[in-house]
Structure 1
Amino acid sequence: MQPTVRSMLALDDLALELVVDATALPDGALDVAVGWAHSSDLDDPTPFLDRGHVLLTTGTQFGPDAGADDPAGFDAYVARLREAGVAALGFGTEVIRDGTPALLVEACARHGIPLFEVPYRVPFIRVARTVADLNAADANARQAWALQAQRAISLAALRPDGLGATIAELSNRLDAWIGLIDAAGALDREAPAGGLDQPALGEVVGEARSLLRRGQRASRVIDAGASVGRPHRVTLQTLGAGGALRGVLAIGDSAQLDAAGREVVTAVIALAGLALEQNRDLDRARGHLRSGLLRSILAGEVDLAAGVAGEMWGALPSPPLRVAVVDAPAEHADRLAEFLELRVDERDGHLFFGRDGDTVVLLLEDADASLPDELADEFDAAVGVSDAIGSLRGHVASAHEQALRAVERAREQGSVVVAFEEISRQGVLAFLARTDARAVARATLAPLADHDAANGTALVETVRTWLEHGGQFDATAQQLGVHRHTVRSRIALAERLLGRDLSGFHARADLWAALLAVE
């Protein structure tokens, strides 16, 4: 253990005596770690001191009568030491004067700096050497601890669940809570289980997800749970290379996190990163297998796919089920796959997914009806969902086609979920109008739109309402709040501008499709 002021005072061979009342010192003042002991009789030795140093002096700077009439001088001297972070002041007696100046004692008590006497028979060099030896012994002990901890962690990594064993061993060595958040942003494992309560755990996971979304290697220290008065200092460290992060290691506060402790954590980060990269290779292999099984299912070879899937993940989803097509940005592909793998494990065979080119195809039961919305929100994805089907045999391919049509519509609207039934309710004509007809539709309606813009008329609105009411002038007039003769004159004007006779079905259908396309 690194020496402290208290442990120095306890050493019999140094015979140091505290002359400031311990009760007048701030809490913990005697337990400050001492990094070095330095002697100086300069009036301002602070340029040569660092925080945690002990200053030894014989009081030459105070004169032979030790400032009996200059309390301000003593106060300024001690104030400088406090500002420099000096751990304690040692006064060598019987060298310049007997005893310690009373004004120095009062100043140290006032500024909260421990002051002890060093007897004449104890040279300052002995005090300095003792501090140096104790620090060296502590450094050697910490290095031995680090080597032992790294060896134990390396052995733990060789166990069947090497990653879990590594996390548990690190928790044991640091006597701290350790959590691993996977690339999908979920708490993969922790040690000890339940060692971090809510809402602190939620804040840790949320901050880890933020780091993962940025995609860059980073570390961060947060005070989780501070909002409810139970702060837990947690250090977050990303795992994996920038642009391909594999997770985040969360480390609770620990007294062992000195230089040696950080060496151990660095070793764990390397081991965890390696283990996660190996898992990534396995994930890729599983992904290729999933894609092959998906192609088999779409081709109607359900029995083959069901047999392989059963060996790997469990039975295929049971009807009624739906097919969903997910189109997520490429940068989210790996994280999306890991998220779905976790969901498959949770659902125990009631969910299947596979990659199909640039999209991911899901077979999901009604119990997972909310999953498409989760994917759209979490991964900025467009998702299309088919109608329900009652059997995997002979129906999956058509449901997949429905989902493809739905995801096309979803892409037009952004990161949303579109169900095929929304398209089918609008009819075939509405679907055709949304493909590549917009430019043609705008050109078709341009004479009416230009006339409205130039003359303040409402030909486009009138034609749309008239078609919605099946060409009925009275119903249209009532809807628009105008006379039926006004509607007739507007339709007649529209026919002249368009150069079309709108009394026939084909002309009306074509105009209706144009209106749908521009909407």
Structure 2
Amino acid sequence: MAYRVRDLLETPHLRLTLEAGTDGLDKPVTWAQTSDLEEPWLYLAGGELLMKNGQTLTESARGQTALIRGVAANGMCGMVIGLDSATPALTRSAIALADDLGFPVMTVPYSVGFASIGRAVADAAGSGRVAVTERVYNVIRQSVSSSPPANVLAQLERDLSCRIAVLDAATGAVALESSEPLPEDLREAVTDEIDGRRGAIPGVLHVSVGPHRALVVEVPDEEPTAVVTYAFRGPTTDMVHLQHLASAVAVLLAQQNARREHERRIGAEVMGQLCDGRMSDRDGDREMAERGLDVATSCVVAAEGVSAAAERQLHLGLGRRAIPHLLLRRAALLYALLPVTDHTLAVLNQRLGGEAIIGVSDPLGVPSRAPVAVREATWAVRVAVATSSQIARFADATIFPVLRDPEEARVVVGRVLGRLLAYDTAHSSDMVRTLDTYLRRDRSLVQTAKELGIHRQTVVYRIQRIEELTGKRIGDTAAIAEFWLALRARDMLTVPA
């Protein structure tokens, strides 16, 4: 039988005195918790007996009624106020409100510590609490040992007598594959509450909308995640159970993330074959369809300045939002094949960070066009770097029409840079790289030397040698234009290996 507020009052050694709220004496007590916060329910799940130091009780009727209304509305079963010489008296309006709400308010003498009340509640509820906690971790142990993992969320729902949803804290989208989505009105209320707190979730959020009442706690995960319990079929899940549940869900998410990391590596192999032209249109159509990618609308995106950690965050973030994708890192660039929309670009910006520079190809159309799309994305990201833009699209970033045709681009590269490329090959030198850096650094000898890690005088010598080999003065505007165009054409044709 459930331990009730009435049982506490009838325990002689606790010496509790009922001040108000007689109609609520049959409420079950799940736990006893001390708190002197103004909003203690932010760290209580419901069903707890709140124990409050009398010295921290406000004297004002407004403050006392606000406290009683708040704890009652958020599911506390009652409140005990510790008496001492500084404890203010309960106001008539506070007593009247507690009576109207059927919310028991009790006092306890100074000589009886809160520990005695807490022990009485713990002794009465302890066996059931331990049993539920043990079942939660048994379910997790079973999920770790089974392959493939079973839907353990349903078992957790049975053990905790409620529905459970695991959501992305920012969007409210399902974060755990076995989780069902929340009812839409409740999902919006949860995300609005979290957004109103700028993404910060306290110990527990109490969210109510229409017939729904939910408790929300944070889950430790690489992505902002929340677990929501609702549709309670018995006493509300208490704070300790919620904390154990959050830890259990973190284990399930870690398993899911490990599976997705494996999928990312397999996807990188597929992406590599596409980008190298080693996959037929038939095989490419099949591989892309299996991953939810529409070959007619998917684009290649190249990103510069992406760390390995950011790459992992991107993969998890895209998966969390059900955006189909393939990822492949080559040298300093990260390539992604995915549908490009305002939403996906927003996710890219968010997950890659403000330092990343992004170039977007034209739509793929057919799998065999992937190598060309990679060159388009590479060229677009170089244009973004040159123009100080964060995102550049191949379709919009044309500087000269000649650069839209790879064959024409090869002609330009050969005619303008051919002697330098041949010289670099023969002498293992860096003339082309030096020229590119010099122009990108606005012909600053100091900045060029710093980026290349060489002496300033070495830059001077190389520039003179470049002029001798090409027969062009770098100070001439026409020569600068030709060199710049040829270098960008070379970018378009050069795909990192």
TM-score (norm 2): 0.52
Question: Is the aligned partner of 1:166 residue 2:146?
Answer: no
Among 302, 320, 335, the alignment partner of 2:313 is: 335
Residue type matched to 2:378 in 1? L
Aligned counterpart, 2:83: 80
* Conserved? CA contact 1:324–1:362, under 8 Å: yes
Among 182, 202, 207, the alignment partner of 1:194 is: 182
Aligned counterpart, 2:275: 298
User: Cα distance 1:332–1:181, how it changes in 2: closer, same or farther (>3 A)?
Assistant: farther
**Number of equivalences:** 356
Residue type matched to 1:277 in 2? A
Question: Is the aligned partner of 1:509 residue 2:478?
Answer: yes
Inter-partner Cα distance in structure 2 for 1:140 and 1:84: 35
Unmatched segments (≥5 aa) in structure 2: 33-49, 54-80, 90-98, 109-115, 404-408, 414-434, 446-474, 486-497
User: Cα distance 1:172–1:412, how it changes in 2: closer, same or farther (>3 A)?
Assistant: farther
Inter-partner Cα distance in structure 2 for 1:391 and 1:113: 72
Residue type matched to 2:269 in 1? G
Inter-partner Cα distance in structure 1 for 2:310 and 2:338: 21
Structure 1 residue 197: Cα displacement: 1.0
Give matches, 1:46-445, under 5 Å: 51=51, 80=83, 136-152=123-139, 154-155=141-142, 162=149, 165-181=151-167, 186-189=173-176, 193-195=181-183, 197-203=186-192, 210=199, 220-221=202-203, 223=205, 232-239=214-221, 245=222, 248-252=225-229, 255-258=235-238, 261=241, 265-266=243-244, 268-303=245-280, 306=283, 310=287, 313-314=290-291, 317-319=294-296, 322-327=299-304, 329-330=306-307, 331-341=309-319, 352-364=326-338, 368=341, 371-380=344-353, 381-388=356-363, 390-393=365-368, 395-411=369-385, 416-426=390-400, 436-438=438-440
Q: Secondary structure at the match of 1:178?
A: strand
Q: Secondary structure at the match of 2:367?
A: coil
User: Cα distance 1:226–1:409, how it changes in 2: closer, same or farther (>3 A)?
Assistant: farther
* Conserved? CA contact 2:31–2:125, under 8 Å: no
Structure 1 residue 374: Cα displacement: 3.8
Structure 1 residue 236: Cα displacement: 1.0
Residue type matched to 1:295 in 2? G
Residue type matched to 1:398 in 2? V
* Conserved? CA contact 1:326–1:407, under 8 Å: yes
Deviations 1:77-116 (A, max 9, x none): x993697799xxxxxxxxxxxxxxxxxxxxxx9xx96699
Larger radius of gyration: 1
* Conserved? CA contact 1:383–1:410, under 8 Å: yes
Structure 1 residue 404: Cα displacement: 0.8
User: Cα distance 1:512–1:5, how it changes in 2: closer, same or farther (>3 A)?
Assistant: closer
User: Cα distance 1:230–1:336, how it changes in 2: closer, same or farther (>3 A)?
Assistant: same
Inter-partner Cα distance in structure 1 for 2:25 and 2:212: 25
Structure 1 residue 19: Cα displacement: 10
* Conserved? CA contact 1:29–1:113, under 8 Å: no
Structure 1 residue 314: Cα displacement: 4.4
Structure 1 residue 333: Cα displacement: 1.4
User: Cα distance 1:26–1:363, how it changes in 2: closer, same or farther (>3 A)?
Assistant: same
* Conserved? CA contact 1:171–1:178, under 8 Å: yes
User: Cα distance 1:145–1:227, how it changes in 2: closer, same or farther (>3 A)?
Assistant: closer
* Conserved? CA contact 2:288–2:295, under 8 Å: no
Inter-partner Cα distance in structure 2 for 1:133 and 1:423: 73
User: Cα distance 1:326–1:261, how it changes in 2: closer, same or farther (>3 A)?
Assistant: same
Inter-partner Cα distance in structure 1 for 2:391 and 2:400: 17
| Identity fraction in percent | 16
Aligned-pair Cα RMSD in Å: 5.7
* Conserved? CA contact 1:355–1:361, under 8 Å: yes
Q: Secondary structure at the match of 1:360?
A: strand
Inter-partner Cα distance in structure 2 for 1:302 and 1:288: 17
* Conserved? CA contact 2:361–2:395, under 8 Å: yes
TM-score (norm 1): 0.51
* Conserved? CA contact 1:153–1:166, under 8 Å: yes
* Conserved? CA contact 1:226–1:232, under 8 Å: yes
Q: Secondary structure at the match of 1:301?
A: coil
Residue type matched to 2:311 in 1? A
Residue type matched to 1:80 in 2? L
Aligned counterpart, 1:7: 7
Structure 1 residue 177: Cα displacement: 4.6
Inter-partner Cα distance in structure 2 for 1:416 and 1:130: 61
Residue type matched to 1:141 in 2? G
User: Cα distance 1:146–1:424, how it changes in 2: closer, same or farther (>3 A)?
Assistant: closer
Q: Secondary structure at the match of 1:197?
A: helix
Inter-partner Cα distance in structure 2 for 1:402 and 1:236: 42
Inter-partner Cα distance in structure 2 for 1:203 and 1:298: 42
Inter-partner Cα distance in structure 1 for 2:166 and 2:259: 19
Deviations 1:269-308 (A, max 9, x none): 4544444334444333332322222222222212299369
Inter-partner Cα distance in structure 2 for 1:442 and 1:17: 84
Q: Secondary structure at the match of 2:316?
A: helix
Unmatched segments (≥5 aa) in structure 1: 37-49, 54-77, 87-108, 117-128, 212-218, 240-244, 444-505
Structure 1 residue 18: Cα displacement: 11
